[in-house]
Structure 1
């Protein structure tokens, strides 16, 4: 399965389709601790919209909460981001700007302001300003699916990476959920032609700001890498599929989030009809959506994520033409109305990002792509019963989720992992279905183009325990964020086990060197060969990295034969 727009852990017994992707949403850390405080001596710079005052953050300069576009509320709701509004005087850029509207407790930057529709701000970390240097620029798209998150998350603070590797790091806030992806193109006409993709267009607007301004911050506008983890990786896929982004970036990175396909217009329009019905608005009066308080959209989302509320109720027209499918792998992968994410509208996103092939417009873009070895340990962490599963339970779960494909899937994993426990087999199956198989398919399709592809699997194991089990998170989803950003001193999912610091040096070294030259390398670690469909070289990231040729190849072939 690709990182579909309605993914939940498919091995959960009785799992129901949800309205949004199930991505990492850690607890908020309002503990008053400053890991990422911006302090004096303060520094001023001039941008195209006005003057900014930033400061110092762990060896680098930091400028936070910089507007890269204008207001996204009111008459601008559901539309492409407007130009930034210039200001007079010196704007303070020492604190984070507002995150996008989302559910409570789902951002994790230190001392962030309240959520806001007018969230189009970015943060910059750099070793120096106005020095004429041309440092590589690493633009990070935060995780949280298309629903939650913030560019101010403290474990992705870019100061340490900037100071250690002489790079410029940028992170954006952008619209999320229904406010970022509600598609009105079939209902609202030309005025809403960009709707359904406004959240990705926000990121592209930030790339435009970077092209115009990043030289002031010591960055090279001709050497920009877009990358992200989880939902941020999926956003990177969408950016790569959009003509509007051409020329604004030059390399791409995807961590645990292959999105091969976007939402079809038909599905997105049905979601819009359900939203209108929820607010008792006739489709002809869709413009009244501008008057609905933003929080009401969030309330709709939160209900849908629990499988409840108006977004889960199909219109009569949809029910008549779309009877409920029988359980099967294909049914689980099919996009369902009631969710949100990038829409294949034929214009802004002309085609599915990486299906049936990589888009021609990114043929010259090098790609760094991979996933965690045990992604699903994170997704199941709130379901301790999963970690006590026996063979009969695994079979029952697979049959419920995959229907007639279950036996082939189980037989493959029994053959390839004969000594694995049912839990370990379940983790491997779910990891492949949610991340690994899609990563391999996307890498295959990108490798067919001219620019190089470098693929990895991150094997570092977190020692964070999973409550109610004897398991730890192992190489689970999202433990690599702090590792990539060299922020391992901050308590988080990566834990504090042996080899952590060495792994962070290796991973951050590979990522920053790729941003600089298009070829990943790290001190004391092996050379990283290009990925192709002949040898399928994969770098296994850890405290001591190693290259493997087509690891889990038999499993990969099985999933690709099933169309995953």
Structure 2
């Protein structure tokens, strides 16, 4: 792995809370571990984040902060690498900017990491922002509360917040970070009126939630959604029942708020089903008064330009949730919930329950979300760029025989393939060239996309889905480096699965 030299001279910036000293690394200035909220500990657990406190003198911003409590081994295996130390005091962000951007108003991209709301951190290696900084874009990555610390409901906490019920503390953290960006990013040379919010998996799902949240209005100006899933939000009543069960698990019948807040922060993440949290926010609080999917079905999302897409082998992630792909087809066969014959007509030439299950689960759980958002954008007269990522590094094509796994696009989007194991050990010049072009599109969206845009420039001109046009950019074809525009991509499949989503019928 090649990393830029860290030069001895400090990068100095003054923000509302005080002075910060970052590092000059190659052509980028990097600021790590900046508090965007007060530590959510003690009485501040399960409350909206409080503003960060000021400091005297110059604060070092050379080290990543601890991440929220989580499974170290799970994050290392599937979450992007080693997240480092853990703490309930985790609300910090990181910034990469061009070293010399004095007086500029550069586009800003705010990254929300994935991990099913239970693992991950903003400082993981694939999310290094130097690639964006080299393209004249300021990259901000954040931590937010995970697991039960980030999503929790219990009768004893009801009525604590005078502004209304609150269960989605992780989403409130993300909103607090966006407010911090609005207040402070100009000190780094960023344009507070050109902020792109983007994320992958649970991060992409968070972007959709904030597009639907009244509390996030005006805090960002465009959005990129990578591999967000169609799983419905958790109903508040179900979340409260789970909160009660969690209290009982710790021996707290009729638990008080004080008793719950006295539990060690590290006690929650090891909880297993049915006491663990699901990978979806809770609807019915002031962050998400209505279910996110219903908001998009009704075309009531914030009116902003959106890019959205998913990967060719998203079903790769479903095994981690205990889903048997072949078993899903057998379930359709036995329960006859909607015609297996129709499914097979929509997947001509696909043989065997395993392969059919892989493609059906991929499309129902992931691909359809892009179709739904595209139609919602068209309904409100906003552009939408759809993509389908199907590139696999040359040395990995036997390993990833079915295409790009869930999350595999991230180091391409960030142009960090040369840093990210295992690809960095055998990456080729062709792999790096494709990665650079993918990152170019993301940076171009941040720089140029507006509500009146019809195109993004890049290796291949990328048209938006506007005026009832359904167009998808293939980023890679059959795992090879090719760019192609497809009209009405998987249209009949998407129409079927959208109807299934609307009624919250689940295959899984």
Distance 1:116 1:498, change over 3 A: same
Distance in structure 1 (CA, Å) of the matches to 2:68 and 2:62: 19
SS in 1 for 2:292: coil
Distance 1:549 1:340, change over 3 A: closer
> Counterpart in 2 of 1:18?
none
> Counterpart in 2 of 1:531?
465
> Counterpart in 1 of 2:307?
368
Distance 1:55 1:448, change over 3 A: same
Shift of 1:505: 2.4
SS in 1 for 2:462: coil
Query: Aligned pair 1:211/2:150, yes or no?
Result: no
Distance in structure 1 (CA, Å) of the matches to 2:469 and 2:18: 52
Distance in structure 1 (CA, Å) of the matches to 2:130 and 2:296: 37
Shift of 1:123: 0.2
Query: Aligned pair 1:549/2:487, yes or no?
Result: yes
Contact 1:363 1:449 in 2 (8 A): no
Contact 2:28 2:130 in 1 (8 A): yes
Alignment root-mean-square deviation, CA = 2.9
> Counterpart in 2 of 1:292?
263
- 1:358-417 residue CA offsets vs partner (Å, 9 max, x unmatched): 57664421100000122123544999x98xxxxxx94x5423367534672464235533
> Counterpart in 2 of 1:24?
none
Distance 1:248 1:104, change over 3 A: same
Distance in structure 1 (CA, Å) of the matches to 2:392 and 2:354: 17
More displaced stretch, 104-113 vs 141-150: 104-113
> Counterpart in 2 of 1:266?
237
Choose the corresponding residue for 1:176, options 138, 141, 146.
Answer: 146
TM-score under structure 2 normalisation?
0.87
Contact 2:49 2:173 in 1 (8 A): yes
Distance in structure 1 (CA, Å) of the matches to 2:317 and 2:3: 25
Higher RCO structure, 1 or 2 (CA under 8 Å, sep 6+): 1
Contact 2:23 2:30 in 1 (8 A): yes
More displaced stretch, 106-115 vs 554-563: 106-115
Query: Aligned pair 1:357/2:296, yes or no?
Result: yes
Contact 1:453 1:532 in 2 (8 A): yes
SS in 2 for 1:137: strand
More displaced stretch, 453-462 vs 126-135: 126-135
Choose the corresponding residue for 1:123, options 94, 104, 110.
Answer: 94
> Counterpart in 2 of 1:486?
415
Distance in structure 2 (CA, Å) of the matches to 1:470 and 1:209: 42
Give the length in aligned residue pairs. 487
More displaced stretch, 253-262 vs 198-207: 253-262
Shift of 1:203: 0.8
Distance in structure 1 (CA, Å) of the matches to 2:378 and 2:16: 38
Structure 2: gaps of 5 or more residues = 503-508
Distance in structure 1 (CA, Å) of the matches to 2:388 and 2:19: 43
Choose the corresponding residue for 2:405, options 470, 476, 479.
Answer: 476
Shift of 1:144: 0.5
> Counterpart in 2 of 1:430?
361
Shift of 1:533: 7.9
TM-score under structure 1 normalisation?
0.79
Contact 2:150 2:170 in 1 (8 A): yes
Contact 1:61 1:127 in 2 (8 A): yes
> Counterpart in 2 of 1:342?
281
More displaced stretch, 350-359 vs 124-133: 350-359
> Counterpart in 2 of 1:104?
72
Structure 1: gaps of 5 or more residues = 1-32, 313-337, 387-392
Distance 1:513 1:69, change over 3 A: same
Shift of 1:244: 1.7
- 1:451-491 residue CA offsets vs partner (Å, 9 max, x unmatched): 2111111121245669xx97536222111000000111124
Contact 1:258 1:442 in 2 (8 A): no
Q: 1:63-212 counterparts in 2 under 5 A?
A: 63-107=31-75, 113-128=84-99, 131-163=102-134, 165-184=135-154, 186-192=155-161, 193-212=164-183
SS in 2 for 1:355: helix
Shift of 1:353: 1.8
SS in 2 for 1:435: helix
- 1:181-222 residue CA offsets vs partner (Å, 9 max, x unmatched): 0023x4423214453111011011111111111011110000
Shift of 1:554: 2.4
Distance 1:402 1:141, change over 3 A: farther
Distance in structure 1 (CA, Å) of the matches to 2:237 and 2:332: 25
Contact 1:177 1:340 in 2 (8 A): no
Distance 1:228 1:382, change over 3 A: closer
More displaced stretch, 338-347 vs 224-233: 338-347
Shift of 1:94: 1.0
Distance 1:152 1:560, change over 3 A: same
> Counterpart in 2 of 1:448?
379
